[in-house]
Chain A
Amino acid sequence: MSNSNETIHEEINCALRNHSAEYAEIRLEESESTYIQYRGRELEDIGTSTARGGNVRALTKGGWGFISFNELGKLSDKVELATRQARVVGKETSFFAVTNPARDIVIASMKKDPSSLSLASKKSLLDEYNEIIWETPRIQTSSITYREGSRRIIFANSEGSYLEQEVVDLTLRVNAVARDGNEVQQAGISIGGRGDFGVVEGLHKQVKEIAQRAVDMLSAPKAKSGECTIILDPILAGVFVHEAFGHLSESDFVYENERLKEIMVLGRRFGGKHLNIVDDATLPNLRGSYQYDDEGTLSTRNYLVREGVLVGRLHSRETAARMQESPTGNARALSYRYPPIVRMSNTFIECGEASFEEMLSEVKEGIYAKNWYGGTTAMEMFTFSAGEAYMIRNGKVAEPLRPVILSGNVFTTLSNIDAVGNDLEMNQGGGCGKGGQSPLPVSNGSPHIRIRCCLVGGG
């Protein structure tokens, strides 16, 4: 957006005035990112990339046209092309919830702005972390990836919305690899934040721990495959709630599927009274936080499950209208290359009353699973994998195990949660993938939770 904002404003307004779609919107975006990557002892890749691009989306008779581009000129032609595409598609009636046109400027604010720091100072922090890993005996190699990105986005639609938003996001992944003969094990941490460089500082102790953990895992046994009682730490429980329930509450899976609507009917019981699940983009300074979503809808706090019962879901303007519910401000796009789709923001299980010690003391034999490798969902069934696992024996955390894959079915596993802890923590290190748009910044969290009869794949 090298031209002045006023010129752009005028061009956008002009393009949005003269079209024949029922609804049209324009998004223009400028972004910069810096990355530093180590493989082993040596720095492998360091650099910056910049991008400028935009998109136009048009709706007519229930059909959508979408154009994305890097060349920002001729916006009117692009609106025209998107409208033409929408007309080829649209044969029915449009559903699109009414929202108040938004006019606002949102500026990113952070305690320690990464763009104010030199590349050299960032590199020297990562050097310190890498040195800690390499000091650990039996470490074979390491990898460290740091990335920061800032985006300035202008959003305008044919209803009069005009928003300028600035977003800064940063992530750090540190991985340690240990080896003994043909045996290779790894452990890592992922940290993320909404721009504040402080979140990636002072991790020396955690880095030392992951290096040691990778080494310890070389001699750890595999878990036995089968069903058992598991306790999840807040980080892995956060991944669990995101995969096990969060995705199923995204209405774009449901809104045109009559069978799914019957299954996901509000009021259906999924878990015990101690289970409360919330998605909240309005929380300050989390990676999934934002003021307006990518359709210009004001973000909201939403209970998905309250006292074990399904009470809400996440919507775009289209899914809300189709299901006759209120828009929740959850239409998000990874970048100008993609149209907004229904996504989570900050998703978490609310605190219960159990302490971790109480939960543990009631388990004769089970698994304590921590940290994450990943998670995936196919609506009904889901998996989430732990980066760290221990046997629980007679109410105590016992010997370490190799990483485990945990799996469940949304219709049984949520009701098998028999204890919810009192120690909620948010995990900011992950990114969410859906419809080819990955990784979208989200956060998720939970207190410790205990699940009976969870399916464990050990190997």
Chain B
Amino acid sequence: MEQILALAKKETPKAEVFLYSYEETPAIFEANRLKHLHTIQGSSIVLRLIREGRIGCSSTTHLDDRQSLVDRAIGASQFGAIAKFELPTAEAYAPIEVYDPAIESITLEEIVEIGNSLIARVREYEPELICEVQVARGIASIHLQNTQGGEAKYKKSIFYIAIEGTLIKGTDMLFVGESEVSCHPIKDVSRYSTIVESVKKQLEWAKNTATVTSRYLPVIFTPRGVAMALIPPLAVAFNGKTVLQGASPLGTRREEMVFDQRLSLYDNATIDHRPRSRPCDDEGIPSRCTSLIEKGIVKDFLYDLQTAGMANTRSTGNGNRGNGGLPTPGISALLIEPGDTKFQDMVQNMKEGLIIDQLIGAGQTNILGGEFGGNILLGYKVEGGEITGRVKDTVVSGNVYEVLSKLGAVGQETKWVGDSVCAPALYCQELAIASQR
């Protein structure tokens, strides 16, 4: 890294190198049995420099190709955007635990055993279920260094379990599933018992099929439903880049009450042992917790250095480098504050409506305008406060700015969905439902 910075320094005093290496070992189970073992190793290096006020960037996976990296970044800087920021200087980052050394001692045999036992326990409940499982262990190393003395170096461990079950009866297909991800190895049985229990509950609720006709109905989104349907439009709207472009419906509404006053949302990269946490972002800005919605009021947006510079504000430590180019503002982990209603009470208070857990095609619409919608892959009908069965061949659609402005209730229990969303269930008043037959 020093060598690349030294080469870059011959051309310009401002440069930064970002090195990312990883090794991941997933065990992949198909049709209830182990089918693949993978080892994925790799590393990539990104050079960003500022030359004559303009940004140039290049990246490669051949770590010894230093001169070409510098030449290509210089070439790009001729056309690059005008830099609106200074690279950060040296800083002592607050410790955030994202590495558990126990990850290194977990054996291949243990990983395989977790998958086998998960499948066995779920199939004990439903022998006809065909399961696909992934159990993976990964380690990533991040090293960032710039010409202004800024430097960050940390390791991250990731352990991941996901199960997807398919139950086929005639031409009827039911998909159930659950996943869990952490910086800790999820070895003890009680941790993955929650996965087993969750799948069992889905199977139980979906045992019968219920019908619904096309009309407006109240909908309870489970935490997973919230993450699939409601979060994508919000993630775009709170992105500082969307705001800067004037394309966010929230851009001019800071400090305004836009949402239900029971709704609070924040982005947090400082929670220990969460895979999206980190001491600093991919530009070396310390991680923090940023309040986006506080009791219904729009508070802040997410920025990286360049976007913040253009918007005359400061970076919120959300500079992310996706696949090796320039950083761009992105969410770390979005958390919705829990409310005061038990899930059970939400259901009991529903005369007629739906529970939506999984949608397909949810983000494939005008999310910029707040729209969401999709086919209910896993959802249930509620009648008179009771879950009566699974609904299918049914499409739901709506707009988050309408739906989240007046909620029926906010759930008491929150749940992590994947690595980047933690949410309670949300009771939404009226949504357009279209159903076949």
Contact = CB atoms under 8 A, between A and B. Distances in A.
Nearest to B366: A403
B80 A43 contact: yes
Contact of A459 (B59, B249, B397): B397
B434 A227 contact: yes
B58 interface: yes
B81 A42 contact: yes
Interface size class of B (residues with CB under 8 A): 35 or more
A419 interface: no
Given A39-B245, A376-B361, A455-B434, A45 B173 contact: no
Contact of B168 (A119, A259, A384, A458): A259
A45 B326 contact: yes
Interface in B237-282: 241, 244-249, 253
B377 A378 contact: yes
B117 interface: no
A256 interface: yes
A130 B365 CA distance: 23
A243 B80 CA distance: 39
Contacts of B44: 51, 70
A260 B168 contact: yes
Interface stretch (A277-285, A324-332, A406-414): A406-414
Interface string A420-459: 0000000000000000000000000000000001011111
B173 A378 contact: yes
Given A35-B325, A374-B361, A226 B214 contact: yes
Nearest to B79: A46
A140 interface: yes
B150 interface: no
A225 B326 contact: no
Contacts of A46: 57, 76, 79-80
A50 B61 contact: yes
A185 interface: yes
A120 B78 CA distance: 10
Pick from B43, B112, B245, B248 the residue with the most CB of A within 10 Å.
Answer: B245
A306 interface: no
Given A49-B59, A70-B42, A184-B247, A409 B393 contact: yes
B10 interface: no
Contact of A381 (B75, B80, B241, B375): B375
A interface, by DSSP: helix, strand, loop or mixed?
strand
Pick from B36, B112, B361, B373 the residue with the most CB of A within 10 Å.
Answer: B361
Interface string A240-270: 0000000000000000110110010000000
Interface in B60-86: 60-62, 65, 68, 72-73, 75-76, 79-81
Contacts of A256: 30-31
A63 to B, nearest CB: 7
B420 interface: no
B324 interface: yes
B311 interface: no
Contact of A67 (B38, B248, B324): B38
Contact of A140 (B241, B245, B435): B245
A49 B58 CA distance: 6
Contact of B360 (A40, A48, A382, A455): A382
A24 B325 CA distance: 34
B428 to A, nearest CB: 13
B436 interface: yes
A70 B61 contact: yes
B56 interface: yes
Interface residues of A, number: 79
A378 B392 CA distance: 12
A411 B168 CA distance: 14
A63 B36 contact: yes
Contacts of B407: none
B171 interface: yes
B7 interface: no
Interface stretch (A8-16, A175-183, A288-296): A175-183
Interface in A377-412: 377-385, 402-403, 405, 407, 409, 411-412
A54 to B, nearest CB: 11
A52 interface: yes
A89 interface: yes
A416 B73 CA distance: 54
B120 interface: no
B398 interface: yes
A144 interface: no
Interface string A114-133: 00000110010000000000
Interface stretch (A80-88, A153-161, A308-316, A359-367): A80-88
Nearest to B246: A140
Closest 4 CB pairs of A and B: A374-B364, A383-B361, A256-B31, A457-B395
Given A43-B80, A48-B76, 19 more contacts: A39-B245, A45-B81, A45-B326, A50-B68, A66-B39, A67-B38, A85-B39, A119-B76, A184-B248, A337-B40, A339-B36, A374-B363, A376-B364, A377-B360, A379-B173, A380-B171, A405-B373, A407-B434, A455-B395
